[in-house]
Amino acid sequence: MDQLLYDLDYSILSFTNEPIRFLNGLTSNLFDQPCNAFLDIHGKVVATFFQYQLNENHLLAVLSRAVLTPLFSHLAKYLRVSKVMVREEKKLISYFNLGNDHNKEDDFVIPLKSGEIVVTKTRQGKTVTEEKFRWFRLKQRIPLQGVDYQHEMILNIDEDQFVSYNKGCFLGQEIVSRVHHLGNPPKRLSVVCEDELPAAQRNEITSKTTDPETGKRWGFTFLNNKI
């Protein structure tokens, strides 16, 4: 049976030379989690990424190509005073596997709440359509940076996936922690049916896809958070 792979066409960054010490204060989650984020001092997203820690001295970050420039601009002043090395792994390819059945020995697999990220040297090609991948992401509530959000406050997107409140200090933590403990973010990224929104707001929906069973159109959009 063929795997349900989708070619992410993402960049893969390799952090070496004591990367955990460097990244710990700059990212919002623990390194044994599948997802992480670089935030600015206001708790807004610079880049979200999938992560795979090979060992204490090597971590891979899988992220949208569109965020490379703002990310390197964000990291520049920290890299100047650090020994950590960052390079783009041109020979590695990333796929989203809609299942959880990838077991090739030489590949790196990042298990998610639904599906998994596969990092490999072997090109597989797109085996599921864009429409099918979008519908899978909507059902499992998996938004992507550059598609469904850009540089929003991290709590507007998904704090459970990207934030640890037990890891110690990180850039943007003060704002994130304050909003988490004392209030609620003003809006949240939600999966919605187009028919339930006012006509003017329907243009804001991303990853819009048709439910194959009902024919209704669904997608992601930011809604005011109900307290």
- pLDDT, one tens digit per residue, over 23-55 is 999 999 999 999 999 999 999 999 999 999 999
On whether the pTM is more than 0.75, the answer is yes
> Are the beta carbons of 83 and 92 closer than 8 angstroms?
no
φ/ψ of 6, rounded to 5, equals -125, 130
- pLDDT, one tens digit per residue, over 155-199 is 999 989 999 999 889 999 999 999 988 877 889 999 999 999 999
Domain count, the chain: 1
φ/ψ of 87, rounded to 5, equals -145, 155
> What is the residue-averaged pLDDT of the chain?
93
In the structure, what pLDDT confidence band is assigned to residue 104 with cuts at 50, 70 and 90?
A: confident
The yes-or-no verdict on residue 226 having pLDDT over 80 is: no
The CATH number that applies at residue 102 is: 3.30.1360.120
Pairing mode, strands 45-55 and 58-63: antiparallel
Would you state the pLDDT for residue 2?
A: 59
The yes-or-no verdict on residue 227 having pLDDT over 80 is: no
Nearest to residue 154, comparing CAs of 5, 43, 15, 19? 43
* Containing structural domain, residue 167: 5-224
In the structure, what pLDDT confidence band is assigned to residue 1 with cuts at 50, 70 and 90?
A: very low
Nearest to residue 119, comparing CAs of 132, 136, 102, 100? 102
> How many other C-beta atoms are found inside a 10 Å radius of the C-beta of residue 21?
12
- Whole-number percent of the chain with pLDDT over 70: 98
